[in-house]
Structure 1
């Protein structure tokens, strides 16, 4: 380990760790908690509860996090299907989370099956989280749990010093060093992503060059949650429930309505 003080170390390429754990409501209902933890500073960037997290819900959370904080250099997760399809029975297709990371050139790292030590830091974080929750009455609703988790996030990030961080809080450590971002290349075209739901007219909207564009997906997909991966003018739209590509577009900047490619 470096003998330099924490503030003098060079920012590493450590990943954004994510995992799903569980807690209980007062009536005994088991619910899930999704969190995103900066592996370098132990800074808790996001924590939220739900009855159960699906792949599309994780994609939405990660998309919001990228919008708010920028894309990380890499991610570290287990092999749950909400994060990766690499151990799925049928090979080849990538899940929504994998497509989102690819669109932002974020390196994806997964722990070895049966080797939870790879996610050791976030597992220890969950121990801290559950000790904190145990000291408080069980919430009656998911919304009450969300309020508790927001309170915990503030306490964990700003009031709890870490010995491994030189007795600094995660917030102090997170803001002390520049963040490692995805590997840059000579390609300077735009890469981004967003989520939407196909409206009653079979369309989704996308802001391009300062204007809202209406993309014609088709009425057969009304109500479908979708992930839009945008590479400059090219847009690929996939079903967030199945990861199937349902439409592709090349944006015409002179028009608001964009028909899909045949």
Structure 2
């Protein structure tokens, strides 16, 4: 028998006064009155413990905000974008709403059955992360695989800024080759400036350091060294070094799976251009404190290679040697004709220009074909006599001096 029932029976059947029952059972006289009234109205049910929860909660999430949280979860998931609590909070802020705490948003999602239970994960606080301090301090690059509608496998190449996660380049190709990587790097550098360093895995399109010394440097290694850019490569069989770009590939593929299938590489590149805009300008990033990558990339002064930081003027371009063995370069307001040699006619080259110094590097091999010191008084520019020929396999000085 409950204490409440004992108190009621002591008064109604034992003839005890309300004050005496209150003293004997250690309760207030008002509580005895309350119990008698409940018993009279509801019987034994009125004596059962009742919830002490307040009828209203001034801190409860507004129903409209709760509904918008669930709507955003559905919208973002349908688009193949991240739909976690941090992202939802960022979207609420953009809409002019004050978002509840991240834990509150997660509880709302869990209560609605939109969060699948997951095994306990390693706490984020235990992870050691490196992030570059400035934009262009380090670019990460890698490529991943995707399948067209007819099950043709293609490869997607990307460059990401380590500091801001800004997606600098994203294109699909039948196969990512050394030439594709070099062209993409040059295009990206023309648009965003040169990075101080790069970080990639040890694929042969990026480095030949694990090739047993065969073939010397590839075109990408030669180009990077000639520009004074520090080249970094992860440890073999240790993809965690390129963790940011590996995680990016998961985000990309999740988004692509929610889009119409691409039938051609051109179709896929249209989708990738759309994704690049969404990723850079619309999707808030948790690691960036809900900022977008474009906002983070523009917020801080950019780093540069040591040579560029010294104020020297650099130009990079690709060209093709004409039938007479020359390429044309505009310098000091006039067109200059650089004599590379008829032996190299029709070859694709990378032309590296620093002030009055120019170096022609064969595209795809990284071999130096000719070096020049431009004479402003002449239109035709002969190459330096000590330039390594095509059979000597010369390379560019890693110190950056052309």
TM-score, with normalisation over the residues of structure 2? 0.59
Aligned to 2:306, the other structure's residue is in SS state: coil
**Gap change, CA 1:102 and 1:222, over 3 Å in 2:** same
In structure 2, C-alpha distance between the alignment counterparts of 1:146 and 1:11, rounded to whole Å: 29
Correspondences of 1:76-115 after superposition (within 5 Å):
76-90=199-213, 93-115=216-238
Determine which structure has greater relative contact order: mean sequence separation of CA pairs < 8 Å that are 6+ residues apart, divided by chain length. 1
**In the alignment, is the contact (CA less than 8 A) between 2:137 and 2:304 conserved in 1?**
no
Structure number with bigger Rg: 2
In structure 2, C-alpha distance between the alignment counterparts of 1:43 and 1:248, rounded to whole Å: 35
Correspondences of 1:84-163 after superposition (within 5 Å):
84-90=207-213, 93-163=216-286
RMSD: 2.4
Matched, 1:243 2:243: no
TM-score, with normalisation over the residues of structure 1? 0.88
**In the alignment, is the contact (CA less than 8 A) between 1:36 and 1:47 conserved in 2?**
yes
Matched, 1:169 2:259: no
1:214 CA displacement: 1.7
**Gap change, CA 1:186 and 1:11, over 3 Å in 2:** closer
1:152 CA displacement: 0.3
**Gap change, CA 1:57 and 1:86, over 3 Å in 2:** same
**In the alignment, is the contact (CA less than 8 A) between 1:103 and 1:192 conserved in 2?**
no
Give ranges in structure 2 of 5+ residues lacking alignment: 1-123, 125-131, 386-402
1:122 CA displacement: 0.1
In structure 1, C-alpha distance between the alignment counterparts of 2:342 and 2:136, rounded to whole Å: 44
Equivalent position of 1:257 in the other structure = 380
1:56 CA displacement: 2.1
Aligned to 1:200, the other structure's residue is in SS state: coil
Match of 2:172 among 37, 45, 49: 49
1:187 CA displacement: 5.7
1:102 CA displacement: 2.3
Equivalent position of 2:192 in the other structure = 69
Equivalent position of 1:16 in the other structure = 139
Greater helix proportion = 2
Equivalent position of 1:4 in the other structure = none
**Gap change, CA 1:163 and 1:40, over 3 Å in 2:** same
Equivalent position of 2:76 in the other structure = none
In structure 2, C-alpha distance between the alignment counterparts of 1:32 and 1:61, rounded to whole Å: 14
**Gap change, CA 1:73 and 1:122, over 3 Å in 2:** same
Q: Deviations over 1:200-255 (max 9, x none)?
A: 33222222223222212223322211112233323222211222222222212112
Greater strand proportion = 1
In structure 2, C-alpha distance between the alignment counterparts of 1:227 and 1:44, rounded to whole Å: 24
Correspondences of 1:22-33 after superposition (within 5 Å):
22-33=145-156
Q: Which moved more, 1:15-24 or 1:252-261?
A: 252-261
Q: Which moved more, 1:167-176 or 1:188-197?
A: 188-197
**Gap change, CA 1:30 and 1:185, over 3 Å in 2:** closer
1:137 CA displacement: 2.4
Equivalent position of 1:226 in the other structure = 349
Equivalent position of 1:6 in the other structure = none
Give ranges in structure 1 of 5+ residues lacking alignment: 2-8
**Gap change, CA 1:10 and 1:44, over 3 Å in 2:** closer
In structure 2, C-alpha distance between the alignment counterparts of 1:244 and 1:224, rounded to whole Å: 12
Q: Which moved more, 1:146-155 or 1:177-186?
A: 177-186
